[in-house]
Amino acid sequence: MLLPDEVRPRLKNDEAAAALGVKPDTLKAWRSRGVGPAFVRVNGAIRYDPVDIAVYLGARRVEPRA
């Protein structure tokens, strides 16, 4: 069961990068270019919702052709 948005734990930049299989600097570059998964800024700290990471990955899913 998913927790409501306001209490669900958020991922730090390095944790989100690991979940995406990229380097933390890549995630930072994506943010500066306005691409990549959605994020929130909390008191200057960048945090990612695990659901947003899953949505981002799901949107890039490629089905193999037979």
Task: Give the span between the Cα atoms of 39 and 11, in whole angstroms.
Answer: 9
Question: Containing domain of residue 22, as a range?
Answer: 13-59
State the pLDDT at residue 42. Answer: 87
Q: Is 49 part of any domain?
A: yes
- pLDDT at site 32: 96
- Kindly state whether residue 44 falls inside one of the protein's structural domains: yes
pLDDT, one tens digit per residue, over 2-54 is 666 566 789 999 999 999 999 999 999 999 999 999 999 989 999 999 999 99
Report the SS3 class of residue 39. coil
Q: Find residue 11's DSSP bridge partners.
A: 48
What pLDDT score does 4 carry? 63
In a domain, 4, yes or no: no
DSSP-derived letter for residue 6 is T
The rounded distance, in Å, linking the Cα atoms of 33 and 49 is 19
27 within 8 A of 13, measured Cβ to Cβ = yes
Q: Give me the pLDDT at residue 8, please.
A: 78
Q: Would you say residue 55 lies in a domain?
A: yes
